[in-house]
Structure 1
Amino acid sequence: MSLSPFHLAIPVYDVALARAFYNDVFGLEEGRSSENWVDFNFFGHQLVIHGHPKTPGQESAHTNPVDGHDVPVPHFGVLLEWDEWEALAERLKAQGIEFVIEPYVRFKGQVGEQATMFLLDPCGNALEFKAFKDKSQIFAK
């Protein structure tokens, strides 16, 4: 399957703080920018942070239960290869990142087994990083 890069623009109420987070925590390459927005290469996709007043979702996140955890909604992220996910999880732990849901393997030993972790950027945007043991399960019903 050939994928096209997606474009996602998210609100941040402190552009400088969010810019530092995406630079320092993930080491993302910057593209174009202005005083009010910054483009990032987010694992091959275009992520744009836009200055915006704090949203209700950033004030208090809604959650839905999944596999015994409260998953923040909305959230976004990227699917990684299993070894890339493990390396990212270790790197984030070593940086002392506070997780909403600590890195773990969901549905272990079952069809759809996946590694997942959730964290917030400094403006309250929820991110999920995951990997599937069997990539054919990504879109399975």
Structure 2
Amino acid sequence: MRNTNKVFHLAIPCKDLDETAEFYQKLGCKLARRYDDRVTFDFFGDQVVCHLSPHQIDEQPKMYPRHFGITFLDREEYEETLEYAIKEELPFFKKPMIRFEGKREEHLTFFLIDPSNNLLEFKYYHEAAMAY
């Protein structure tokens, strides 16, 4: 289980700092810092740093193996985030779906895509123990 005194850190490439900042702030992430070559966000309690790297953008992103996101432990928070993404017209890579239907690890999920083709997954497991 996660200790609350730790913050996960993830660094990802971005092609444009302005559009990256706009996307993540529209998603509800707080802008923590901005420099000439990166922007740092509070991404649902963790740290995501988007480094300006326009020549390292994945032009044909795939869900697997590389994506990141949030696993909600509360279904209401998952549903609120989904409704917010729809309302704000955030770009979906994969619309909401059920994965592993009928199995213990069944979960609800959807994927967004940021302006630099980084994929973000948001999911909720019906059985909380399957989150890990």
Q: Under a length normalisation based on structure 2, what TM-score does the superposition of the two structures give? A: 0.88
1:77 maps to a residue whose letter is: G
1:33 maps to a residue whose letter is: R
Structure 1 stretches of 5 or more lacking a match?
Answer: 64-70
Alignment identity in percent?
A: 34
For the pair 1:115 / 2:108, whether they are aligned, the reply is yes
Q: Under a length normalisation based on structure 1, what TM-score does the superposition of the two structures give? A: 0.83
Task: After superposition, give the CA deviation of every residue in 1:96-130 in whole Å (9 maximum; x if it has no partner).
Answer: 23322101222334311211111110111111111
For 2:10 and 2:121, the matched residues in 1 are separated by 14
RMSD: 1.6
Work out which structure has the larger RCO, using CA pairs closer than 8 Å and 6 or more positions apart in sequence.
2
For the pair 1:77 / 2:69, whether they are aligned, the reply is yes
Q: State whether residues 75 and 127 of structure 1, in contact with CA within 8 Å, keep that contact through their aligned partners in structure 2.
A: yes
1:14 maps to a residue whose letter is: D
Task: After superposition, give the CA deviation of every residue in 1:67-109 in whole Å (9 maximum; x if it has no partner).
Answer: xxxx343111111121111111111111223322101222334
The verdict on how the C-alpha distance between 1:97 and 1:30 changes in structure 2, with shifts beyond 3 A counting, is: closer
For residue 92 of structure 1, what is the aligned residue in structure 2? 85
Secondary structure at the counterpart of residue 117 of structure 2: coil
Deviates more, 1:86-95 or 1:47-56: 47-56
For 2:49 and 2:116, the matched residues in 1 are separated by 14
For residue 16 of structure 2, what is the aligned residue in structure 1? 14
For 2:93 and 2:71, the matched residues in 1 are separated by 18
Q: State whether residues 73 and 126 of structure 1, in contact with CA within 8 Å, keep that contact through their aligned partners in structure 2.
A: no
* Residues 1-141 of structure 1: pairs in structure 2 closer than 5 A: 1-3=1-3, 4-24=6-26, 26-55=27-56, 58-61=58-61, 63=62, 71-80=63-72, 81-139=74-132
Structure 2 stretches of 5 or more lacking a match?
Answer: none
